Amino acid sequence: MKKTVLHKFPLLLPVGLGLLLLSLTAGLVLASRAGEAAWLPGTAVQTDRLLSALLEPCWERLEDTQSAQEGRVTAEGSEVLVDDMGNAYSLPPGMEIPQGRSLLPCLGPDGECCLVLLEAGTAVRGMLVELDWLYDACVPQELAGRVILADKTGTVLIYPQGETVGMQLCTQLEEAGHPLAWAGRSLTSGAAGAAKLPGGEILWILPAGESRNGFLTLGILADASAEPAAWLWGLCGLTAGIGLAMVLAFLRHRRGRAEILGQLALLERKNAAMEELNRKKQQLAHQQRLEIMGTLTSGIAHEFNNLLVPIMGYSMMALEKLPQEEAVYDDVLEIYNTSRKAQTLIRRLSDLTRKNSDVVFRLLSPENLVTQVLKVAKPAQPETVTVQTRLDCGGALLRGNEVQLSQMLLNLVLNAFHAMPDGGTLTMEAACREGKIHFVVSDTGTGIAPEVISHIFEPFFSTKDPGQGTGLGLAIVHQVVEDHGGDIDVQSRLGVGTAFFVTFPQAEPEEAPEE
């Protein structure tokens, strides 16, 4: 049960913090909506500036234009302005043309509402103003539908009507029961400030007397409904409370979770220490076995060396008595050379446990080494195995011990023969590249399993059946490579074959190599 709870508690912190962040964001949005009236005065002033900037060029144009060019302006009767098309525009009933400049509503030929710029002095001049142009130019796009314009008395309203902008008398709005009739009444108050409308809206009013344009009253509508805000505030508070509770629950169980994790970490460290102790015990037991086998090998090598002494002695005596022209002379010489190499091999077995023997290094030809090794291994070559050589050293030399290097290559060759019981191809390469001598011994045999390839250079480790291998061949190869400052690598695939790559430093030709 504790484990299940432990797995669930890490989710409390991100979920709780997410709820707190969500409630904070919603609260800020609600606060901005609740205090929406705070930005209304500045927005009204900015809109009024745009409106004034639009009207100023119109007045200048009107001053530079003669009345005959614009149309007939008559202050008497019903005609206020007659345009160049002959259309007559008149003031609403009861409205008079004041002296000086004025921006007045008027009725068109079909009774539609329009705006006209009038300047009454010694002569009366006028010019029509397009409602769509005036509204779209002075009202920002984000405020479209919220801005209402009216004359000084509040008897005419200019507001969006669908996709167009229209103008309507406030009396007509009241008769039709239009919601904006309340806005018209509020605009007639003549004082700057906010007015609450019945529909739950705020109307910010900038009277014409306090505006720069001096002719139109400006009103901006804003949503001020309190009930949805109160409900959302309560929801935000509940969300914040749940998030805070989840964070506190996480912090409360954090200490217990840390203790459990600490105990698990302690158990893991103890388990790792026990595994390391077992590994060291196994290494110690393996080292003891190696010491025992080393001692046994040393004794066997000594006894075997005693057997080689008479073989070498008698073969040497026979060579002294036989003339070199005799056919048997070469056979006896081969017996002597082979026994000498066997004696060196015994010395190498001893070197696995005792590295106190002197080894003579000299300059050698890699190509000659390969040729001699293949000659010695010829009797052990199966009839179904083909041997190929690729020798391209270009006269490069290798400094090392001839017997040890020959034994190294011979072990690799014999292992390749044993890996191809059904036949195949053995390829031996010797080349010089980038100041290195490279030997490659590859076969098309059975290959080595991946799980044992890392152990093949260990002493007494063998992949052969019991009684068919000592496990010392590749261990000797590895030691010879290390003694000569080289590197060895192996690549193998089951059923495809194995390749050993041996690299030694190239030596300078200080003396001619022995043939």
**Per-residue pLDDT tens digits for 173-214:** 777 767 677 677 777 666 777 777 776 677 878 888 778 887
Average pLDDT over residues 285-309: 72
Tokens of 322: 């036989």
Domain boundary among 174, 209, 224: 224
Tokens of 14: 């991100």
Which pairs with CB-CB distance under 8 Å and at least 24 residues apart come from 100-106? 101/59, 101/215, 102/215, 103/55, 103/129, 103/151, 103/213, 103/215, 103/216, 104/80, 104/151, 105/151, 105/155, 105/156, 105/167, 105/169, 106/80, 106/81
Tens digits of per-residue pLDDT, 309-363?
Answer: 888 888 888 888 888 888 888 888 888 888 888 877 777 666 655 544 556 788 9
Residue 428 covered by a domain:
yes
Average pLDDT over residues 30-44: 64
The three-state secondary structure class of 389 is strand
Q: For the ranges 128-137, 219-228, 420-429, 486-495, which has the lowest average pLDDT?
A: 219-228
Residue 454 covered by a domain:
yes
* Confidence at 428, pLDDT banded by 50, 70, 90: very high
Tens digits of per-residue pLDDT, 5-25?
Answer: 444 555 655 666 666 666 666
Rounded to an integer, what distance in angstroms lies between the CA atom of residue 292 and that of residue 460? 12
- Tell me, what DSSP letter sits at residue 7? H
What average pLDDT is seen over the chain?
Answer: 76
Q: Point out which residues pair with 489 in neighbouring strands.
A: 501
pLDDT of residue 234: 56
Rounded to an integer, what distance in angstroms lies between the CA atom of residue 30 and that of residue 238? 15
Quick one: which of 372, 357, 441, 358 has its CA closest to 402?
A: 372
Which secondary structure element, helix H or strand E, spans residue 135, and what is its range?
Answer: helix 131-138
pLDDT of residue 62: 79
The angle at the Cα of 110, spanning 105 to 111, to the nearest 5 degrees, equals 40
Q: Point out which residues pair with 323 in neighbouring strands.
A: none
Rounded to an integer, what distance in angstroms lies between the CA atom of residue 499 and that of residue 440? 7
Ordered alpha helix ranges (H), 35-118: 40-63, 67-70
Residue 209 covered by a domain:
yes
pLDDT of residue 515: 47
Quick one: which of 30, 49, 37 has its CA closest to 203?
A: 37
Q: Residue 3: is its pLDDT beyond 70?
A: no
- Tell me, what DSSP letter sits at residue 301? H
* Confidence at 512, pLDDT banded by 50, 70, 90: very low
Domain boundary among 209, 224, 239: 224
Residue 374 covered by a domain:
yes
Rounded to an integer, what distance in angstroms lies between the CA atom of residue 84 and that of residue 65? 14
Residue 232 covered by a domain:
no
Rounded to an integer, what distance in angstroms lies between the CA atom of residue 47 and that of residue 139? 6
Which secondary structure element, helix H or strand E, spans residue 391, and what is its range?
Answer: strand 385-392
From residue 299, alpha-carbon distances to 10, 293, 296 in Å are 67, 10, 5
Q: Are residues 73 and 220 in the same domain?
A: yes
Rounded to an integer, what distance in angstroms lies between the CA atom of residue 26 and that of residue 29? 5
pLDDT of residue 294: 66
Residue 265 covered by a domain:
no
* Confidence at 498, pLDDT banded by 50, 70, 90: very high
Of 508 and 432, which is predicted with more confidence?
432
Rounded to an integer, what distance in angstroms lies between the CA atom of residue 104 and that of residue 126? 10
Tokens of 142: 């984000």
pLDDT of residue 388: 92
pLDDT of residue 10: 59
Domain boundary among 173, 197, 224: 224
Q: Residue 513: is its pLDDT beyond 70?
A: no
Q: Are residues 220 and 363 in the same domain?
A: no
How many residues are there in the chain?
Answer: 515
* Confidence at 489, pLDDT banded by 50, 70, 90: very high
Contact indicator for 57, 120 with CB cutoff of 8 Å: no
Of 277 and 120, which is predicted with more confidence?
277
Residue 303 covered by a domain:
no
pLDDT of residue 19: 62
Instruction: Find the CATH number of the domain harbouring 464.
Output: 3.30.565.10
Rounded to an integer, what distance in angstroms lies between the CA atom of residue 159 and that of residue 180? 9
Residue 114 covered by a domain:
yes
Rounded to an integer, what distance in angstroms lies between the CA atom of residue 334 and that of residue 314? 13
> How far does the chain reach from its first CA to its final CA, in angstroms?
81
User: Which amino acid, residue 222?
Assistant: A
Rounded to an integer, what distance in angstroms lies between the CA atom of residue 415 and that of residue 498? 10
Ordered alpha helix ranges (H), 322-378: 327-351, 366-377
Rounded to an integer, what distance in angstroms lies between the CA atom of residue 382 and that of residue 379? 8
User: Residue 38, exposed/middle/buried by CB under 10 A (0-12, 13-18, 19+)?
Assistant: exposed
Give me the percent of the chain exceeding a pLDDT of 90. Answer: 8
Count the domains in the chain: 2
* Confidence at 70, pLDDT banded by 50, 70, 90: very low
Q: Are residues 75 and 217 in the same domain?
A: yes
Of 442 and 171, which is predicted with more confidence?
442
pLDDT of residue 1: 40
Range of the domain at 466: 358-505
Contact indicator for 132, 165 with CB cutoff of 8 Å: yes
Evaluate the CA torsion angle 55, 58, 63, 69 in order and state its sign: negative
Give me the percent of the chain exceeding a pLDDT of 70. Answer: 71
pLDDT of residue 226: 45
* Confidence at 438, pLDDT banded by 50, 70, 90: very high
Rounded to an integer, what distance in angstroms lies between the CA atom of residue 462 and that of residue 294? 17
Helices 327-351 and 473-483 cross at an angle (nearest 10°) of 80
